[in-house]
Structure 1
Amino acid sequence: MRKNALALVSVLVLSCGIAATGALAAEPRILSLTGTGRVVAEPDMATLTAGVVSEADTARAALSDNTARMTAVIDAFKQAGIPAKDLQTANFSVQPRYFHERTDTGTKPPRIVGYTVQNQVVVTVRDLSVLGAVLDKSVDVGANTISGPVFDIADKGTATDEARRQASADALHKAELYAEALGVTLGPIQSISEMDVSVPRPMLMRTAAVPMAAEAAVPIEGGEIDLTAQVNITWTLADQ
């Protein structure tokens, strides 16, 4: 009886070993490569932030000045053809200004000497041909802080899809090259994974509290925008 049990255990161990060996042998050979695609496009829109900073002895006086000037700035954008949907208030604040007086015996407690009011609006400009004039006009009517513009593409979908096609073609080209060099044959695709889609932006043009000449439009250069895509594709190698 004991001999029969030992024989049965031996058969089971042998069977498991054969099954494991078979599973190991059935493990497919694969080739995994990454492809990159790049599309260069010209921007067709820009975003900038314009604002007014006002200072006065009282919060009410600072607010009144800021409100009047900021209203003029927003009206100027609208008159330039910027629709209301492309104007959005981004930051509004009322802050006291402190004076820290030092004496021979130390520093006195800070005291309020005035107030600063800041209001900013984010503007989306969809016609770049008027961007310089829009910046000029905003300063003419009272804006004294401007940051941007940040250039962008309104419809990135088409350009991004082209970058994806290029990335796929790049991965396939590499796979065919390696297969030929190594004497193997590509089989069916086992997996496809998108690794990255990025849109680096050009450097911002910044202007802050700087007067501009009314007779000359601000020079604007949109440059180019690179859209890149990366994809990882894994092929099963066909049996020879």
Structure 2
Amino acid sequence: MAEVVTKGTGKVERTADRAEVQVNFETSGATRTEAVDLLTRRVASVEPLLTRPGVEVRSRQLNVHDNWNGRRRSGSRASQSYTLRVDALDQLDDLLGALVAAEPTWLNGPSWQLAADTEAVREAQKEAVLDARRRAEGYAEALGARLGTLLRLADGDSEMWAAESMRAMAAYGGAPGAPPQMDQLNLEAQQITVTVRCTATWSLLD
């Protein structure tokens, strides 16, 4: 029995409904204890921001180490890094503005995500199968045959990506001066493209 194998691609766009932000604070002192004490005071104003509704701390990591100038110890440094998940996007501008006002060492984000992708993936799967069928029908017609039944279907790699996942805030590194104005950065939720690929094998009929 003759067969034809085709690949199909389905793409669906959805508006992001979740954002992720990474922020880091660093301090230095003559000793590790001093560096940690300074860091504790520095993040004291940050911690209340992380208890806002719709904000989840996905990770909180502390790092303390000595600085060295050759073989000579030259003070100590302490840092605290946060990875934040923001589901209340209407609060994102205010949160980022407050974080920047706290003068982080660096802040990356937002990166845009979908809270749930099941519906979008299923729609993309349907589009991928239809695309594979259209291609198979074209080959069958070119051969003067008829497209038969689907014999095998293999799932390809699925992926999600945001058209502009990292916005202007990604470059903020705690430089001196006034913090950027949030209303000037256009931090609107971006479109997420869900892509599904498949490989289908069809029978060909005379």
Same fold (TM over 0.5): yes
Q: 2:197 matched to 1:230?
A: yes
Offset at residue 179 of structure 1 (A) = 1.4
Structure 1: stretches of 5+ with no match in the other structure: 1-27, 101-109
Q: 2:118 matched to 1:145?
A: no
Native 8 Å contact 2:4 2:136 kept in 1 = yes
Q: Deviations over 1:130-172 (max 9, x none)?
A: 2121111123235332112211111111111111110111111
Q: 1:229 to 1:215 in 2, by over 3 A?
A: closer
Q: 1:127 to 1:211 in 2, by over 3 A?
A: farther
Residue 79 of structure 2 aligns to a residue whose secondary structure is: strand
Q: Deviations over 1:36-57 (max 9, x none)?
A: 1111221111101122101111
Alignment partner, residue 95 of structure 1 = 65
Of the candidates 123, 131, 144, which is equivalent to residue 162 of structure 1? 123
Alignment partner, residue 175 of structure 2 = 210
Alignment partner, residue 121 of structure 1 = 82
Question: Greater shift after overlay, 140-149 or 159-168?
Answer: 140-149
Of the candidates 14, 17, 36, which is equivalent to residue 9 of structure 2? 36
Alignment partner, residue 112 of structure 1 = 73
Residue 174 of structure 1 aligns to a residue whose secondary structure is: helix
Offset at residue 88 of structure 1 (A) = 3.1
Instruction: Return the letter of the residue paired with 1:93.
Output: N
Question: Greater shift after overlay, 176-185 or 157-166?
Answer: 176-185
Native 8 Å contact 2:65 2:78 kept in 1 = yes
Q: Deviations over 1:167-199 (max 9, x none)?
A: 111111111222122210122211001112111
Which entry has the higher C-alpha Rg, 1 or 2? 1
Distance 1:189 1:116 in 2: 63
TM-score, normalization: structure 1? Answer: 0.76
Distance 1:168 1:69 in 2: 54
Residue 65 of structure 1 aligns to a residue whose secondary structure is: helix
Distance 2:29 2:138 in 1: 71
Identity of aligned residues (%): 23
TM-score, normalization: structure 2? Answer: 0.88
Instruction: Return the letter of the residue paired with 2:166.
Output: L
RMSD of aligned Cα (Å): 2.0
- Report the count of equivalent residues: 200
Alignment partner, residue 70 of structure 1 = 43
Native 8 Å contact 1:91 1:121 kept in 2 = yes
Distance 1:162 1:30 in 2: 27
Alignment partner, residue 60 of structure 1 = 33
Native 8 Å contact 1:192 1:234 kept in 2 = yes
Native 8 Å contact 1:72 1:142 kept in 2 = no
Relative to its length, the structure with more helix (as a share) is 1
Q: How do residues 184-195 of structure 1 correspond to structure 2 at under 5 angstroms?
A: 184-195=145-156
Greater RCO, 1 or 2 (C-alpha within 8 Å, sep 6+): 2
Distance 2:115 2:182 in 1: 24
